[in-house]
Amino acid sequence: MSQCYESTRDKLVSKKASEAILQGLSEDGGLFVLRNLNELHIHIESLIDDDYLSIATKVLGVFLNDFSEEEVRMCVDKAYTNKFSAKEITPLVELKDAHVLELFHGPTSAFKDVALSILPQFTKTALTKNEMTEDILILTATSGDTGKAALEGYKDVDRTKIIIFYPSGGVSKVQETQMITQEGKNTGVCAIDGNFDDAQSGVKELFLNETFKRDLLEKNIKLSSANSINIGRLIPQMVYYFYAYKTLVNQGKINCGDKVNFVVPTGNFGNILAGYYAKQLGLPVNKLVCAANENNVLYDFLTTGTYNKNREFLKTISPSMDILISSNLERLLYYVSDCDNEYVTQLMTSLKTTGTYTVNERVLAKLKETFSAGYASNEETQKTIQDVYVKENYLMDPHTAVGYKVLLENKDKEHVSVVLSTASPYKFTKSVYEALHGPTNDDEFTLMKKLHAETNVVIPENLNGLEDKIVLHDDSIEKETMKSYIMEKAGQLV
């Protein structure tokens, strides 16, 4: 009998995978988890000759325990066939000091496409499976990339509506333009007066607001989330860890069984947590290296055991990592505390009331077994973009550069290292251009053309001509009015 999902905060919660996906967040505020992760196992040897889609089908099948194999395969096919501009889906590029796993060849040029191309397929399958009669409303806060990737994934998917909130002035021009020009009769986009944490906590509160949910149900609408708190968003991210590994074996860079480091530019802790899951399933991982920007809460936490969000929120040139509350860390705390729901609840209560918590020695030691951490300032990030371009003719975006800087600073000659590249350089054109040439007043779209002329790196199709698209969304609200905004907007979407 396969396991059910429980809440990180309550082991008596018991959900099938499809229910956990539809619900997003547990009623008690916890996240859905499988208790005995290490009972699940993927045989690496069995993946060596597989392509991305086959690996995905095998890995996802383990977690989607109430989906048939055929259903999983159908979701995978719909998500990845002809949707990505690289036939490998996530190609691995070799540089001097590391391999770069390019996760940005999806429909919106961000790594979040990998998960958000398939989550809507899970949602649709889960709705049918559970014979639900309500429509689903996806509510999501975005630090920039999730928003567009989710909009694109859910656009015109039957029986779903989606509303995205983004921090006003907190995303790049390209990111904002991508979102406010979004097509689809079921899509809504709105700026929030505040930063990403404000937007995220606003959405999280609504998920726990019973009257709000009852009011929506009267309109035959049920809430769900596309943030990486949703287990259906997290698990597709494991696939490329396996894919990178098997590619290294195929290329003769490692022998099957050799351990590998993964360096992950981290914000909400979803991407790197998927690496932890992959390791629990048997992927030979040496270290997972958490790379942060100047908002280095996670660096402090993984080195000292104290998480403290009471600090200034800094706007950096890697805005998708400007986060002080990393939601998915809760799942890791659950596992490293040996699934102690009460302990996790205690820590989360402390975080909510005081903004800080400290884990015990045993937990910290366990964290350090698997994780190491580093961070990069804006200046170091810029210098890395420039150095790597000049020396190796490889153009990376600022988030990837944060990872690369942390890699260079923690050189490990014994293991092959893979840096996860989370965005196309063209999603953050201005920062990339300025890293190469210094400050400029040109707008991002002019710079895109200049950067292309200079480097010959192809502009992704979805970003080419973006500036000429019609703006279809111009809403902007105070975060206190999110609730009434949603009630009104949900009624207009079809």
Ligand X SMILES: *Cc1c(COP(=O)(O)O)cnc(C)c1O
For ligand X, the binding residues (CB under 6 A) are 110-112, 145, 228, 265-271, 320-321, 399, 422-423
Contacts of 335 (CB under 8 A, 6+ apart): 33, 37, 276, 280
> Of 145 and 176, which has the nearer Cβ to ligand X?
145
Alpha-helical (H) ranges within 281-397 are 297-304, 329-336, 341-354, 361-370, 378-392
What is the smallest separation between the CB atom of 271 and ligand X, expressed in angstroms? 4
Dist CA 197 CA 322 (whole Å): 9
Smallest gap, in angstroms, from Cβ of residue 246 to ligand X?
22
Q: Would you tell me how many other CB atoms lie within 10 Å of the CB of residue 158?
A: 11
Closest CA to 5 of 188, 256, 229: 229
**Which lies closer to ligand X via its Cβ, residue 121 or residue 316?**
316
Q: Which residues pair with 417 in a beta bridge?
A: 261
- Selected catalytic residue, list 112, 279, 309, 405: 112
Looking at the Cβ atoms of 163 and 323, the one nearer to ligand X is 323
Residue showing tokens 């399958």: 125
Phi-psi region for residue 236, left (φ > 0), alpha (ψ -120 to 50) or beta? alpha
CB of 237 to ligand X, least distance (A): 7
Task: Spell 411-450 as b/e; 16+ CB within 10 A means b.
Answer: eeeeebbbbbbbbbbbbbbbbbbbbbeeeeeeebbebbeb
Task: Supply φ then ψ for residue 468, to 5 degrees.
Answer: -95, -5
Q: Rounded to 5 degrees, what are φ and ψ at 189?
A: -135, 135
Q: How far is the CB of 211 from ligand X (least distance, A)?
A: 30
**Closer residue to ligand X in complex, CB, 127/285:** 285
CB 321 → ligand X: shortest distance, Å?
A: 5
Q: Is residue 34 within a helix (H) or strand (E), and if so which, with residue range?
A: strand 32-34
35 backbone dihedrals φ, ψ, rounded to 5°: -65, -50
Q: In this complex, which beta carbon is closest to ligand X, that of residue 202 or of residue 270?
A: 270
Least distance in angstroms from the C-beta of 407 to ligand X = 15
The verdict on whether 112 is a catalytic residue reads: yes
Longest dimension (CA), the chain: 61
Closer CB to ligand X, residue 21 or residue 297?
297
**Pairing assessment for the beta strands 260-265 and 285-292 based on DSSP bridges:** parallel
To ligand X, the closest distance from the beta carbon of 149 in angstroms equals 8
Catalytic residues: 112
